[in-house]
Amino acid sequence: MTLSLESRRVGEITIVRCMGRIVEGGESAVLQQQVSELLALHPNIILSLDKVQFIDSSGLGLLVRLLNRARHARGNLELCAVPPRVAEVLRVTKLGSLFQMHDSEETAITHFHERASPGEPHRYKTDVLCAEKSADTLAYVGELLRRAGYGVLTTSNMADALTLWRATRPRLVVVGAQLTGFAGAHVPDAFRQVAGPHAVLELPADLASRDPGEAGRELIDHVRRALGNDPSAAG
């Protein structure tokens, strides 16, 4: 079975799910290209290996090289959902100690974004969590809020949004109108149940088609009213 990859951004990391074999040749080349493209802008990567059937010596060497490249880019490459066969290879070769490994994608996401211990700085300042189905709208809203001075995490699905909320406890959740929840649940209402009625802001359904300047100013006004006028004092 050839190697296929699925990737998604979750806050400050990228999850790359690997399905098939990581072996010398085309399979390794596909993974190397995918990770290399990510490293320039998003050097924090988690490889999800639950569907990996086999890894050979070349594939293992590639993981080591990608780990070193990620750290050189001031990021990291971690593993999650490692199947028993791959875990045994890492144990026998004594290379497992090189990697930080997690039981599941959820625990990997949580570990990366969790708040630091009392008295220590947070890994990332998180004022706003933005969850939106459209990649373009998500990029627009996320960058708009960052340029206004807020610490922002973004994601495009409900499950990851809830994981990020539990890990970071942002002061405000900004939710897209098109995002779907579990069993058709209304996502803003679902977040209001866990975050509180005043900690959730729903994006207008017509945001994508509106004048970006007008829509941006309106959104920033809403966020400032929710968090206070001084972003530097938020979080």
My answer on whether 106 and 136 are in the same domain is no
My answer on whether 150 and 77 are in the same domain is no
My answer on whether 105 and 178 are in the same domain is no
DSSP state of 153: E
Domain contains 119: no
Residue-wise pLDDT for 135-154, tens only, equals 888 989 999 999 899 999 99
Domain contains 209: yes
Structure confidence at residue 27 (pLDDT): 85
Structure confidence at residue 181 (pLDDT): 58
Domain contains 168: yes
My answer on whether 96 and 140 are in the same domain is no
My answer on whether 102 and 155 are in the same domain is no
Domain of 212, CATH number, reads 3.40.50.2300
Domain contains 121: no
Element (H, E) at 191: helix 187-195
Number of domains in the chain: 2
CA distance 199 to 176: 14
My answer on whether 8 and 108 are in the same domain is yes
My answer on whether 83 and 138 are in the same domain is no
My answer on whether 169 and 217 are in the same domain is yes
Structure confidence at residue 229 (pLDDT): 61
Element (H, E) at 50: strand 44-55
Structure confidence at residue 120 (pLDDT): 44
End position of a domain, from candidates 82, 113, 144: 113
Within a 13 Å sphere around the CA of 79, how many CA atoms are in the beta-carbon half?
23
Residue-wise pLDDT for 63-95, tens only, equals 999 999 999 999 999 999 999 999 999 999 899
**What are the angstrom distances between the C-alpha of 128 and each of 144, 155, 172, 201?**
12, 11, 5, 10
Range of the domain at 152: 128-233
Low-confidence ranges of the chain (pLDDT < 50): 116-122, 182-183, 232-235
End position of a domain, from candidates 90, 113, 136: 113
Angle between helices 57-72 and 84-93 (to 10 degrees): 80
